[in-house]
A = this chain, B = another copy of it.
Amino acid sequence: MILVNGESKAHIEISDRGFQYGDGLFETIEVRDGQAVFLERHLERLNSGCRRLQIPFPDAKLLSFEAKELCRQHRRAVLKIIVTRGSGGRGYRQPDRIQPTRVLSLHPYPDYPETYREQGVVVRFCATRLGLNPALAGIKHLNRLEQVMARSEWNDPAIQEGLMLDVNGHVIEGTMTNLFYIKNNRLYTAELVQSGVAGIMRGIIMILSADHGFPVIEHMFTKDELLSADEVFICNSIIGVWPVTQIEQKHFTVGPITKNIQIRLGRYAGDDCTEAG
């Protein structure tokens, strides 16, 4: 099921700048019991990304209405929202009057084993690096070749995620997740000022941890620092939190702080679903 500017269709104009230049943004949202989880947060991030790219944000009420309509009958799925700058302009130059395109599509929820959440996952380091660009850092835009290239590096089904470094050798995130680590009872994640996507789940974990008197420290760190951590986990809006039990040859246990975050996150997401009702 796909809605393009409110109409049910499966295609987009060739002239759409999303296709021509990756000139747009997207959100990937968990659908549970007929509801898009953390929908308002996703729409806020989309709005903020549109401001960064100077794309007029489509009507928030309309987006929210369409999203809810699409998800209503689905017990478990993934909702993807794409907003592009629409068609027009000459070359890279934007049209004088931008009419954004909005695409909402539903996808099957991935069949990840429940063991990933409980017993953790194995990850690797990717050779493909993230470029640096403060103008695009943090936002979830449609220029995703770096992630595609990184994800193409391995086929081993025993490895669930690849970690990406930036061109300066700082560990930033996974191809589809954000990364946290715990060392001496402090919680760290990458500072996303030059590259990376500031995930919704990452933001929620930062809020929950601060509320719990345990503020997350955003900074730049190397492979070595990560490998010396006590606990490591990855997160996104679809998987929630997966403990990392192995990074290449180095093993980690599923630690108490990671488990505690999973528990509080479960409660918080439950609240969101109730409120969204």
Chain A positions near chain B (C-beta within 8 angstroms): 2, 4, 10-23, 26, 53-54, 82, 85, 90-94, 103, 105, 110, 128-136, 141-152, 167, 175-176, 194-195
Contacts and interface: CB of A to CB of B under 8 A. Distances in A.
Contact of A145 (B16, B53, B151, B195): B53
A66 to B, nearest CB: 15
A12 B19 contact: yes
Contacts of A150: 92
Chain A, interface SS category: loop
Copies of the polypeptide in the assembly: 2
The 3 A-B pairs of least Cβ separation, nearest first, read: A22-B22, A131-B131, A143-B143
A110 B132 contact: no
A145 B136 contact: yes
B4 A14 contact: yes
A149 to B, nearest CB: 6
A94 B22 contact: no
Nearest to A54: B152
Given A92-B151, A150-B92, A132 B21 contact: no
B21 A18 contact: no
Contact of A23 (B148, B175, B194): B148
